[in-house]
């Protein structure tokens, strides 16, 4: 369950592709913890800005802007605006939770004897994998800047992580989910 969600899009009049009697205000957001894509029903009179962080946790008294979590939504059901904003908001979440993702570089395990979870990151092959493994044996990474300084070909680790998270969200056929919840069985 997500406690905080970042707003990807706000539709005060509801989805334009639905008949008028089925339209209701909707907020599309992405969870901070497991990058869960959610459709939310706003409280009456609430307004939202794209990228805004809002509370949607179990304590309904703390929910100032959200009346109800309608449920998970597949990437294909998001609006074009949400699709366009998603990479920027994912990168903001990754940067805001830097230690969590640096810990991934420090602790990522092998998936099998021939395949490592770090290899799932876009553009990261065996050579860079072995550099990361050697460097983290010497001393754990402390920040994205530390990773960039110690691994010459990895100048922007936050961008690589963002691309991986986006791939997990946009491609329902991904076998491995390092950072996101797997799609619900009904959507496969």
**pLDDT tens figures, 117-149:** 999 999 998 999 999 999 999 999 999 999 999
pLDDT at 186 over 60: no
**pLDDT tens figures, 43-72:** 999 999 999 999 999 988 889 999 999 999
Q: Is the dihedral of CA 184, 157, 143, 112 positive or negative?
A: positive
Q: Tokens 């983290």 label which residue?
A: 136
CATH 2.40.50.140 is the classification of domain 4-79: yes
Band (pLDDT 50/70/90 cuts) for residue 182 is confident
Q: Which CATH class is domain 97-178?
A: mainly alpha
**pLDDT tens figures, 141-180:** 999 999 999 998 899 999 999 999 999 999 988 999 999 9
What's the pLDDT score for residue 50?
96
**pTM listed for this prediction:** 0.91
What's the pLDDT score for residue 110?
94
Q: For the chain, give the DSSP string.
A: --SEEEEEEEETT--TTS-GGG---EEEEEETTT--EEEEEEPTT----TT-EEE-SS-TTT-SSEEEEEEE--GGGS-HHHHHHHHHHHHHHHHHTHHHHHHHHHHPPBSSSS-BGGGGSTT--HHHHHHHHHHHHHS---SHHHHHHHSTT-S-HHHHHHHHHHHHHH-TT-S--SSSPPPPGGG-
What's the pLDDT score for residue 185?
65
**pLDDT tens figures, 87-96:** 999 999 999 9
* Alpha carbon distance 30, 66 (integer Å): 14
Same CATH topology for 4-79 and 97-178: the answer is no
Q: Strand pairing partners for 53?
A: 6
Where do the structural domains in the chain lie, given as residue ranges?
A: 4-79, 97-178
């Amino acid at each position: 369950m997500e406690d905080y969600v970042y707003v990807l899009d706000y539709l005060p009049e509801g989805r334009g592709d639905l008949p008028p009697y089925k339209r209701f205000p909707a907020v599309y957001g992405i969870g901070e913890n497991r990058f869960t894509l959610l459709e939310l029903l706003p409280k009456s009179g609430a307004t939202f800005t794209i990228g805004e962080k809002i509370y949607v946790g179990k304590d309904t008294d703390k929910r100032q802007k959200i009346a109800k979590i309608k449920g998970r939504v597949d990437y294909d059901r998001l609006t074009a605006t949400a699709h366009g904003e998603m990479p920027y908001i994912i990168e903001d979440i990754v940067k805001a939770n830097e230690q969590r993702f640096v810990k991934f570089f420090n602790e990522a395990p092998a998936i099998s004897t021939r395949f490592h979870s770090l290899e799932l990151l876009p553009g990261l092959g065996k050579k860079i994998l072995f550099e990361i493994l050697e460097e983290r044996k010497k001393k754990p990474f402390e920040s994205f800047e530390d990773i960039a300084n110690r691994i010459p070909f990895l100048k922007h680790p936050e961008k690589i992580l963002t691309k991986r998270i986006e791939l997990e969200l946009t491609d329902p056929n991904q076998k491995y989910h390092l950072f996101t919840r797997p799609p619900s069985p009904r959507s496969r």
